[in-house]
Amino acid sequence: MILSSSSILSLTNIITGNSGISPEHKFEDIQDLLKRYTKCESLEEYKNSIETHELEEYEIIQRYVISKLNKINGTSLLTKLVEQIFNNISFFQESTNIESSYNIEENIFALNSVIKNDNYEIFRYKTKYRVYGLNDSLVDYQCLFCKNKLGAYTVIKDQIEKCYAKVISGDYSGAITNARTLLEQILREIECSLNPDAVEYDGNLPKLYRRVTNLLNFEDGLSEKMKTIYQQILGGLSSSINGFAGLRNTMSDAHPIERIPSENDAILAINESKTLTNFIVRHYFEHYVNAA
β-pair partners for 129? 124
What is the distance between the alpha carbons of residues 181 and 74, in angstroms, rounded to a whole number?
Answer: 9
Non-local (6+) Cβ contacts of 14 within 8 A are: 21, 22, 85, 107, 110, 111
Query: What size, in residues, is the chain?
Result: 292
pTM score, whole prediction: 0.72
Each residue of 67-80: pLDDT tens digit? 999 988 888 889 99
- Would you say residue 91 has pLDDT above 80? yes
Please say whether the beta carbons of 6 and 118 come within 8 A: no
What is the distance between the alpha carbons of residues 70 and 36, in angstroms, rounded to a whole number?
Answer: 15
DSSP conformation class of 171: -
Of the listed ranges 127-131, 149-153, 197-201, 233-237, the one predicted with least confidence: 149-153
Query: For 29-36, which contacts have Cβ atoms below 8 Å and span 24 or more sequence positions?
Result: 29/95, 30/61, 30/65, 33/81, 33/84, 33/85, 34/65, 34/68, 34/69, 34/81, 36/81, 36/84
Q: Domain map of the chain by residue range?
A: 5-133, 145-289
Comparing CA positions, the residue from 140, 143, 76 lying closest to residue 280 is 143
Each residue of 183-202: pLDDT tens digit? 888 888 888 888 878 888 88
